Amino acid sequence: MEGLAEGLDESAEVVIVGAGPVGLLMANYLGEQGIRVLLLERGAELIDYPRGVGMDDECLRSFQSVGLAQAVLPHTTPSHWMRFVTGKGRCFASIEPANDEFGWSRRNAFIQPLADRVLLQGLQRYPNVKVLFSCTLGSLSQTDAGVVLGVESDAGRGCIEAGYVVGCDGGRSTVRKLLDIPFEGETDSNRWIVIDLNNDPVGVPHAYVYCDPARPYVSIALPHGIRRFEFMLLEGEAKDDVVEPEVLRKMLGKVVPDPDHVDIIRARVYTHSARLATRFRDRRVLIAGDAAHIMPVWQGQGYNSGIRDATNLAWKLALVVKNVAGEALLDTYDEERREHARAMIALSQFVGRILAVTNPLLVRLRDGFTWLLNYIPPVKRYFVEMRFKPMPRYLHGALVYADGVDLHSPVGRMFIQPRVKAGPGEAATLLDEVLGDSFAIICWGGDPSYWMSDATLALWRSLGATLVSAWPETQFGYEAARQTGEVRVVGDIGGQLKEWFGNHSSNIVFLRPDRFVCAMCKSQQIDATTQKLAVALSLKNGVQHEPDEAAMSFA
């Protein structure tokens, strides 16, 4: 959009380096929060070729959180199965998740350049967000008060002052290198070529992983008539990352009738790496997405893991910048995201090893073992319903357990998002549309504000929290008519909320802006739980209460 002039001084509360999906999503959230943001991108424009091709339900929920889910949906294919096929053509595993507990399809194919463009266009809503293309970061220095960045563009050099910096600048992150943060892990010795085609010559929907020992390959149907093929390269097929046309033609000849008449968008050689930064924060500078972790593509989780980073970090950074919370809250970003990123890396590596087996004996063992497992119903459901995917689960961080860490508690897990009735005569809507973009407190079968002291209610008001009273749909009209306070009444249309609360012993759930459960309690424990949360969130204006003698007499 703009360049820097010689000697120009810029300043922002938050500078984001890298206008990929992670940086763009974070800029949208911070923009909505009124934070002054400067987004720097070294390229002259957004990358215009497909990269990530899989978007999960958590990711779409993040798009929803910044008001852009409906804008990106036309560039997705929902309910996108992934089938694993042996060299002899037998499907030995099929991932076909039909559940939508978070409000969206579990697996979606998508076109990343178009999704990124939606995010970029979303920034036009915020005059407090500025994007600078063709801007390269050269230096970075920190003080207790802020960060100074030395940058260069086509127009010259400049200096930028920031309160905080987030490096979302990819696997070769300049920010990470300037901070001298080690990037530990390994790179697979196998090389692959990705070939994207317009005017899909195959046309079959879904994604297929062909575990062919002669040459493993992948075929993926993408929106708007795009087909992706990924072939493992054999010894000597790529010199200096260039594949000769005849070799390319031979590979395509395996999957299309006429390899001479295809519309190639790009063909690019790459290797799979699995790496994790040793830390995600250095004082006032943080890293996210590929700058913090990279993983093989086999589960399509590189893109989604980066979006999880942005969703986890953005609301915390907003609270710190606004001086509502102390900087200790930023430490919970690394504390919460690191282990899940590590788990996704391990899963991606494991799937890659299954795919790339070429040893005849190991191939027979794999094919025979998977054939047997297909006849064990629980195992088959495990794959079909995608239960093997490690879901984010935070045991420590910006959350509170009532009696110490409890692995059976919903605390630290993402809350469900069913459709609810939110107003008389209104159509059903997803729960997050009622909750807004801040904290939320949901009470099943009651008014959560009734149990709050004035101090507790004032604290949640100051945080912009939404108070929700949830009831069976049959009771919605009656409860909505008699509700006179600031509490939102919702009707549980399909019974998912009733089932969720019925599986737990508490009727009050506290949700963070990223829709993770940060605490649960019974109605009469709201004040005490709020005090604990104020500490866990490093809030600067916590809640202090005088003992309630009347309440104590009934204890």
Asked if residues 517 and 412 have their Cβ atoms less than 8 Å apart, the reply is yes
pLDDT for 552: 31
Angle separating helix axes 301-321 and 21-32, nearest 10 degrees: 30
pLDDT for 368: 66
pLDDT for 191: 86
CA–CA gap between residue 180 and residue 189 (Å, rounded): 26
pLDDT for 389: 57
CA–CA gap between residue 245 and residue 161 (Å, rounded): 49
Q: What is the pLDDT of residues 299-316, one digit of tens each?
A: 667 899 999 999 999 999
Asked if residues 80 and 209 have their Cβ atoms less than 8 Å apart, the reply is no
Determine the Cα angle at 211 with ends 209 and 215, to 5°: 110
pLDDT for 343: 87
pLDDT for 4: 46
Class of CATH domain 8-71+111-183+274-355: alpha beta
Residue ranges, comma separated, of all CATH 3.50.50.60 domains in the chain are: 8-71+111-183+274-355
Strand (E) positions, 170-262?
A: 183-198, 207-211, 217-222, 226-232, 238-239, 242-243
CA–CA gap between residue 407 and residue 164 (Å, rounded): 34
Low-confidence residues in the chain, pLDDT < 50 = 1-8, 382, 384-386, 545-555
pLDDT for 15: 98
Asked if residues 310 and 289 have their Cβ atoms less than 8 Å apart, the reply is yes
Q: What is the pLDDT of residues 434-481, one digit of tens each?
A: 999 999 999 999 999 999 999 999 999 999 999 999 999 999 999 998
pLDDT for 211: 85
Class of CATH domain 419-552: alpha beta
Residue ranges, comma separated, of all CATH 3.40.30.10 domains in the chain are: 419-552
